[in-house]
A and B are shown apart, each in its own frame.
Chain A
Amino acid sequence: MTHSQHHSEACRDTGRCPIVTFPEVVNIDEIKDEAPEVKTFYLSFLNPEVVPYFRIKSGQFIMCTVFGAGEFAVSLPPSPEHDRLHITVRSVGKVTDALHALRPGDKLGLRGPFGNGFPFETIKGKNIVYVAGGIGLIPLRSSIVHALQHRQDFGRIILLYGARSAGDLLYQTDIEEWKKVDGFESFITIDRPESGWQGQVGYVPNLIEKAKVPVEDTVAFVCGPPVMFNAVIAQLLKRGMSEDDIISTLERQMKCGIGKCQHCAIGRTLVCTDGPVYTYHQIKTLGEVI
């Protein structure tokens, strides 16, 4: 089957041409345990013709089919450049449980990439603060790698990251790599003290004070559980950050990824095509969000 048959026949190409309806088959090359119930799956397309068309922007997501179980929406952690295609998934339901039972060599279906992505065009020259809790680091990973690959385009790059325990921290080898980049500041915390842990203890919002997070010429990318999210936003606003400079990415139940099934509708926007990346100002005016 040729490439054109897989893509939307009426794809109005503007330089990007996602896989819209018919899933493309990928091979699971490698599976890595990230944390309890969280695994990273490294993938490669069976059909090499697709590769040049599958161009991602950081912050986008894909629809992933586990054959025999169903399809789910998942954010893309790899950076757009020089990064292996992979997804990191926690098992939370029927389809993701089935995914976790797979082994290397098994196949998945893939559609996408979909969504707007992070607004990198408008934040050049600014400081970037990443605030992540638990698996909230997954959708931010892509943009962290991208920012570090273009280190000269940005001011300070700060990562504030927390998880329940040291074992729940994701991408630990990546974080060690990132620390080697000049000017990358990271503050990592776990909820409760445990033996062998030398780092910070406490909740993520407390790190904002500790890291002396700048406010001027700064954007914050925030992703994490609702409790953390609300506390972080309150802290950032208190420090004087504008609502337009706080950026987050939302998740919703999705079925199509292309703005047709309407499951991800919030007010008059659709998370799949208008999002998943929104500023806090937008999130606040949408209603029913967090």
Chain B
Amino acid sequence: MYLLTTQDINDLARELQKTHAVYGPQVNAQTGQVFFDLLAESELPDLDAAIPSMPVKEILFPQMERILKYSYDAQAQRVTLEKQYGEKPKVLFGLRPCDLAGIQCLDRFFLGQEFVDDVYLAHRRQSLLITNTCTRPWDQCFCVCTHTGPAADEGFDLDLTRLDDGYLVQVGSEKGQALADAHGWKTAEHRRLAEKAAVVDRCVERFPDQAKDNKAWISRAMNRITTGFVKHEIWEYIGQQCFECGACSFVCPSCSCFNIEDVTLCGDSCERLRTRDSCSFSGYTRMAGDHNPRAPVEDRRNKRFFCKLSYTQSKKYLRPGCVGCGRCQLVCPGDIGLPNVVQYIRRETTE
């Protein structure tokens, strides 16, 4: 546990930039939107910025990514293949606890099942995660309900908390410890932990009563979905609200579905792209010959909520698939972001 000044934090970011690609939150001067972007040489992470518009998974699991390049000479019947997913080391500087929980979900899913996903592993193996404790909630936040914030418990390399006179730095891994040792940071006294707890408490206080006082808010809904007690009419209603735009999947920190496509660049040269996909699209399960086994109605549109909230499905993440960032609620044109869906299901339960 160390205590660093803002200057120390900035120096650390600058120093890491020499060896790593450093990503951090930045406020767009024109739109006021926050993006978690690659920092240019002169730029520093803005640790006071709001929760980023897009989830930080973008860096480890991009919207579109080239995984293979090949060229095929039909005349000579010869092919050359080139692997594309070797990546340079990255630092995620100042990510919010909900985004960290999303990365943990992706870690468990991509790296912890029968097969290991090489592409994700290549990104993840060389990444350093530095979290930033939230000192206030934003409009869409409900991490207190999903137990993912306002402070991170585990899974980070370094964790920063803004106190009155500097940043409290906690170490969460060997990688993080090595950084601390190399810099000879000033050790923080034990009382600083109480100060951090006060920061977290003040943040929780600012959440709406409904969120902070109702710990069973999401687990009640999970229970109903897992045991199949949600009425079909509720699913139908939710399905009818869906525009099938896929935005919820793209802004969700734990959504991991992808598509693979070979694209011809010019002549013989091709690239294999891995792009994010959404289970709400009708083409998602369509096979060659146009047979589509998945029922076109609410079945497809509700699949995502089963994936996030049904115990049998979300156990692949070892936690609920929802991390409480509230982005789906912000972007959904049909008003069926995950908190609303939980609300519909709970309302039915209480009726």
Contacts and interface: CB of A to CB of B under 8 A. Distances in A.
Nearest to A9: B118
Contacts of A93: 288-289
A105 B310 CA distance: 50
A141 B118 CA distance: 32
A20 interface: yes
A58 to B, nearest CB: 20
Counting contact residues on chain B (CB < 8 A from A), the size range is 35 or more
Given A9-B121, A25-B81, A261-B260, A67 B288 contact: no
A187 B160 CA distance: 73
A107 B77 contact: yes
A273 B114 contact: yes
Contacts of B258: 255-256, 260-261
Contacts, number: 120
A252 B121 CA distance: 26
Interface residues of A, number: 46
Contact of A22 (B81, B256, B259, B312): B81
B261 interface: yes
B153 interface: no
Interface stretch (B137-145, B180-188, B291-299, B331-339): B291-299
Given A68-B270, A93-B289, A20 B118 contact: yes
Contact of B118 (A8, A94, A264): A8
Contacts of A233: none
Given A8-B116, A259-B114, A261-B277, A253 B81 contact: no
A195 B310 CA distance: 58
Contact of A258 (B114, B256, B270): B114
A69 to B, nearest CB: 7
For chain B, what secondary structure do more than half of its interface residues adopt (helix, strand, loop), or is it mixed? mixed
Interface centre among A72, A260, A265 (most CB of B within 10 A): A260
B58 to A, nearest CB: 18
Contacts of A21: 67, 117-119
Contacts of A67: 70, 72, 79, 262, 270
B242 to A, nearest CB: 17
Interface in B300-320: 303, 310, 312-313
A253 B285 contact: yes
B262 A65 contact: yes
The 8 closest A-B pairs by CB, nearest first: A93-B288, A67-B72, A258-B115, A10-B116, A92-B289, A21-B118, A255-B260, A70-B262
Given A93-B289, A252-B287, A265-B279, 16 more contacts: A8-B115, A10-B121, A11-B116, A23-B68, A65-B262, A67-B79, A92-B289, A107-B79, A109-B81, A253-B286, A255-B259, A260-B115, A263-B285, A273-B114, A288-B294, A288-B299
Interface of B: 67-68, 70, 72, 74, 77-79, 81, 83, 109-111, 113-119, 121, 256-262, 264, 268, 270, 272, 277, 279, 284-289, 293-295, 299, 303, 310, 312-313
Interface of A: 5, 8-12, 20-23, 25, 65, 67-72, 92-96, 105-107, 109, 251-253, 255-256, 258-266, 268, 273, 288-290
